[in-house]
Every structure is written in structure tokens, then in C-alpha cells.
Structure 1
Amino acid sequence: MKLYAPHVGHLEALEELLTGSKDIYGIYMAGTPDYVGTGRTNLSSPGLEEIAEQTARAHEEDVKMEVVLNSSCMGGQHLTPEGYNRVNWYFTQLHNIGVDAVTVAEPYFIEMLSKDFDMEVVVSVLSFVDSPQKAEFYEQLGADTIVIDPVINRDFEKLEAIRDSVSCDLKLLVNEGCLYQCPFRYAHFNFFSHANGPGPKLNVLDDYYYYKCLSLRISDPQQLIKSPWIRPEDLKEYRHITDTFKIGGRTHFPNWILNNVQAYANESYDGNLMDLLDCPRDIRDLFYISNKELEGAINQWKQCGKVCNKCGYCKKLAEKIIKVYTAEGCGNILKPLKS
């Protein structure tokens, strides 16, 4: 099994990851946002010297280094002569440094990297590859690896169809904590791409999508069950599709990442599923979902038609196993979601 771990982007955190686990196959982190943005907030923006130092350090432990430049919108800058030259220069520097892989969402970059550079070309989840047809197109553009849109993590018919349609590698994001079929997904990542990419910088009042998504999950906790995460115990169900798995969460601390690495490497976790999910702390600290009580749920999801108003399985499961932390007296106690 090949586990890819997230990394915030500075050497101290990298050292913690490399010394904290021998189960990490690859590390991924954001690049410098002055050239290409990313789909997440940049807590650390390593320059080329820092990327070079950290790549060399990872290679000392036989760990791959992957740089994420997965802006979902460049505002057309990359198609101007100046924009092309700027991005091409940056890709050249990453290649010279010895970076193993570059993750992008822009189709133009996939073809550009494939033709001109000797680095693994990884198609981001922000390319939303959710069908064999899309996978075929991206492979034709030059993709070496496709990170499948987690929205189909529980749709085995589609996953198997994608596996049968392409020869490139596939990677699955295992701990996605976002809304299933989120209506804000495209707009939110476009916002991040501009807010965390090349200027001009946005002077926004607030992140509407973040707070809206947060409120929906708090007010309707069944959405936590519907989120397209994969339990550590269920990795075996995906082995015929891929043996490469990606842990999301490059804005988290190393101890949180290492806890995830251990859980997925051992394919077992005895605790709160929320501890593993890449979701806001406001949610993680509010709900308790016993991971072991989810045993067998994968069998329902493998044959589910994904028509929630007719099924109701996730709603019933949420009412049965989700507990809420409630502040009473001197500490927090757990109460059932439905009492």
C-alpha cells in the first residue's frame, strides 16, 4: 500500500512526519502561490530553496515529494505569454530541484507538464474526475496518476469502470469530510484559487461557503455519515481498484497527520471517526462517531442507489450512532443525537 501524507510546508513539520512514521510513501505540500494557486488555504508557502531542502530531506528517507499547484481557476493568466513564461519557469525550477510529482487541476498544465517535463503528472481531485470518460480524456492529455473525485468513493460501479478504462495510476482520497454532492464545491475552490494564488489579492469580508457548509452539517448531522470518507478498515474493499491512498489535511498539525497515517497503515482505528476526517475543528469537537460501530456499513453503500430520500440508511445510522458533546457542569458529556 502507498500512503500519501499531507504536509503544511516547513522543514520542522516534515521532520516530525519523517521521524514519526515509516509508513509514508509520499509527502505532498503546496508550492509558492505567486505562480499557481491551490485549492486550500496556504498556512505555509515554501519558496524554491525551502522546497529543494525538503525534497532532498524526503529523498534521504526514500519518500516521494509531490508539489500541489491545483488552482481550479487561473483567470486566464496562464494563457497569456507572460503567464505561460512565469509558470513554465516555475515548473522548470521544480524539475531541477528533483520534485517527483506535480498535482494540477488545469488541463493545460497537465499537457504542458507531460510534454515538457520529467515529473509525475497528477490530476487533482479538483479536476472532478467522476466517470470513465473524464479519466480517458485526462490520460490522453498525459496524466500519470488521477486522484478520483471522492464524491464517487462509494460508487463501486463507477470506480471499477474508471479502473477498466485507463492504464494510468489511480489514487483515492480517504478522509474527505465535505458534504456529499456539495453545491458549493466548485465556487468554493474557485474562491480559494484566487484568494491563495497570484495577485491581485481579494479583499473579502468572509468565507461564505465555509460557514454555510459548516452550518448545514451541524444542523443536519446525517451529512457527516454521507460524506465520502473511507474507513481504515474498508481499504481492503478498494484494493482491486488501487493500492494508492491519499490522506487529506495539509492545514493540520503533524500529530494529527501521524494519527491518520497510523490508522490507515494499520487499517484499523478504535475511536472517534471525526478524529480522522479533514473537516473543521468546530465539527470534530462537537460530534462523536464510533468508528467501530460503522462496521459493515460499506456493504450497504456498495449497493446503494444514492437516492437518499428513498433510502434513508444514512439518516437512520446517524440517529443510532452519532453522539453530541454537551457542556454540563465541569466538563463535556456525550449525548445521543436523537433521544
Structure 2
Amino acid sequence: MKLFVPSPGHIDSLKELLTRKEKIYSIFMAGSPDYIGTGRSNLASPQLEEIKEQTEYAHKNGVKMELVLNSSCMGGRQLTPEGYRTNHWYVEKLVDIGIDSIVVADPYLVETISRDFDVDVVVSVLAFVDSPQKAEFFEDLGAKSIVIDSNVNRHFDVLHAIRDSVDCELKLLVNEGCLYRCPFRYAHFNFFSHAFGPEPRPNVLDDYYYLKCLELRIENPELIIKSPWIRPEDIKLYRDITDVYKIGGRTHFVDWILNCVNAYYNESYDGNLMDILDCPKDLKDLYNIPNKSLDGILEKQWTNCKKVCNKCGYCRTLTKKVTQVYSNGGTEHQMCLPWDTIAVKT
């Protein structure tokens, strides 16, 4: 198994992560938003000297370093002469530093970086590769690896079709807690790309997409059950597709990341599923979904699911059965109550 593990971007964080280096194949982190943005907010924005220091430290410990430049929208700057020169200069510096792979979402960057530089180009999950046709397209552009759209994590027919269509590495994002077929996904990542990308950055009051998504899941945890995460115990069902897995969560702290690393490396987690999903703290503090209560569900039910929810109802029944709600706000009187009893009362 090859685990790609997030880093917040500080050297101290990296050193702490690499105390578990035997479990980590590669670290990934964002670069400076001054050149190419990413699809997430950043806890750190390492400059070139800091990236060099961290890359050298990772390599010294036998771990690869991947840089994420997966802005889903650059406002067309990448196609201007100035934008081309700036991006080309930045990638050249990263290659000189010794970065092993660069993650991008824009097909133009996939083609130009793979053509002009000796570095592995990875197609981001934000390129939404959800079919063999898209996978073939990006491989033809020069991609060495593709992170498959997490929306098809439970569509085994699609996953096998993609595997059969390309020779490049395939990677699965295992613990993303986003909505299945999220209607906000494109707009939200475009927003992040501008808010955490090169100047000028929008001066927004709040994040509508985050707040609306949070509201929906607080009101209905069935949406969490339907999210296309992959449990550590279910990794075994994907081995004929890939042995490369990405843990999402570079905006989290190191202790949380290491907990995820241990869970996926061991292919087992005895605790609250919410603890290892990359989703808002508000949800983690509200719901308890015992991970082991979901043993066998993927294999018995979801591998053959047609995703026609209004004619099925399985996930709603499952949600009522396994989901619990924390009461009393973390006080000494805290307890877990069945969500079904709370839902009925409300």
C-alpha cells in the first residue's frame, strides 16, 4: 500500500508526521498561493526555501514529496504571456528543488508541465475524472497518476472500467466527507481557488457553500452515510483497482492526520467514523457513527447500489440504525443518543 499523507506545510509538522515514516509513501502539501492556488484553504503557505528544506528532510527519511497546485480556476491568467512565464518559472524552481510530483487540475497545466519538465504530473481529484474516457484523455496529455473523482468511489463498474482503460497510476481519495454528487462542488472549489490563490483575492464575508453544506448534514446525517468515503476495513475491496490511497486533510492538525494514517495503514479503526473523515469539526462534535457498525455494508449493499435513493431507502434505514448524537455539549453529562429518537422529536 502507498499512502499519500497531507501536511499543513510547516517543517515542524513534517517532522512530527515522519515519526511514522514507515507508514507513509509520500507527503503532499500546498505551495505558495502567490503563483498557483489550490482547492483548499491553507494553514501554511511555504515559500521556495521552506519547500526545499521540507523536501530534503522528507527525502532524507525515505519519503517522497508532492506539491499541490490544483486550482480549479485561475481566471485565464495561465493562458497569458505573463501567467505562462510566472507559472513556468515556479514549476522550474520546484523541479530544481527535487519535488517528486506536482498535482494540477487544469488540462493545460497537465500537458505543459509533463512536456517541459522531468517531474511526475498528477491529475487532481478536482479534474473530476469519473469515466474511462476522461482518464484516457489525461493520460494522453502526459499524466503519470490520476486521483479519481471521489464521487465514483462506490461505483465499482466505473472504477474497473477506468483501470482497464489506462496504464498510469490510479489513486483513490479515501476519507473525504463531502456530499455525494455535491451541487456546490464546482462553485466552492472555484471560490477557494480565488480566495487562496494569487492576488487580487476576493474580500468575502463568509463561505456560503461551506455553511449550506454544513446545515444540510446537521439536519440530515443520512447525507454523511451517503458520502463516498472508503473505510480502512474496505481497502481490501479496491486492491484489484489500485494500491495507492490519498488521505485528505491538509487543513487539519498533525495528531488528527496521524490518527488517520494509523487507521488506513492498519486497515482498521475502532472508533467514531467521524474521527477520520475530512469534514467540519461541527459534525465531528455532533455525531457518533461507530465505524465497526458498518462492517460488510460496502460489500453486501453498496457495491451493487444503483444510486436511485428515492426508490431504495437503505441509507436512511442504516442512518437510523447506527447514527448517534452527542448530547449536553461535551460536559461530564455527555452521552450518545440514537439519532432516530432525536429526529422523531424534532
SS in 1 for 2:256: helix
Equivalent residue runs for 1:1-339 within 5 Å = 1-299=1-299, 300-327=301-328, 330-339=332-341
Deviation at residue 330 of structure 1 after TM alignment = 3.6
Pairs aligned (count) = 339
Kindly indicate whether the alpha-carbon contact (under 8 Å) linking 2:6 and 2:257 is maintained by their aligned counterparts in 1.
Answer: yes
Q: C-alpha separation between the residues in 1 aligned to 2:121 and 2:21?
A: 26
SS in 2 for 1:230: coil
Q: Which amino acid aligns with 1:110?
A: V
Q: Which amino acid aligns with 1:337?
A: W
SS in 1 for 2:92: helix
SS in 1 for 2:23: coil
SS in 2 for 1:338: helix
Structure 1 gap ranges (5+): none
Q: C-alpha separation between the residues in 2 aligned to 1:262 and 1:43?
A: 22
SS in 2 for 1:331: coil
Kindly indicate whether the alpha-carbon contact (under 8 Å) linking 2:101 and 2:119 is maintained by their aligned counterparts in 1.
Answer: yes
Q: Which amino acid aligns with 1:332?
A: Q
> Share of identical aligned residues, percent?
65
TM-score in terms of structure 2 length: 0.97
Q: C-alpha separation between the residues in 2 aligned to 1:308 and 1:122?
A: 33
Q: C-alpha separation between the residues in 2 aligned to 1:245 and 1:49?
A: 28
Q: C-alpha separation between the residues in 1 aligned to 2:322 and 2:283?
A: 16
Q: Which amino acid aligns with 2:312?
A: C
Deviation at residue 257 of structure 1 after TM alignment = 0.5
CA RMSD in angstroms, aligned pairs only: 0.8
SS in 1 for 2:340: coil
Deviation at residue 331 of structure 1 after TM alignment = 3.0
Q: C-alpha separation between the residues in 2 aligned to 1:332 and 1:227?
A: 27
Q: Which amino acid aligns with 1:212?
A: K
SS in 2 for 1:22: helix
TM-score in terms of structure 1 length: 0.99
Q: C-alpha separation between the residues in 1 aligned to 2:273 and 2:91?
A: 38
Off by >2 Å, runs of 4+ in structure 1: 328-331
Kindly indicate whether the alpha-carbon contact (under 8 Å) linking 1:21 and 1:258 is maintained by their aligned counterparts in 2.
Answer: no
Kindly indicate whether the alpha-carbon contact (under 8 Å) linking 2:21 and 2:63 is maintained by their aligned counterparts in 1.
Answer: no
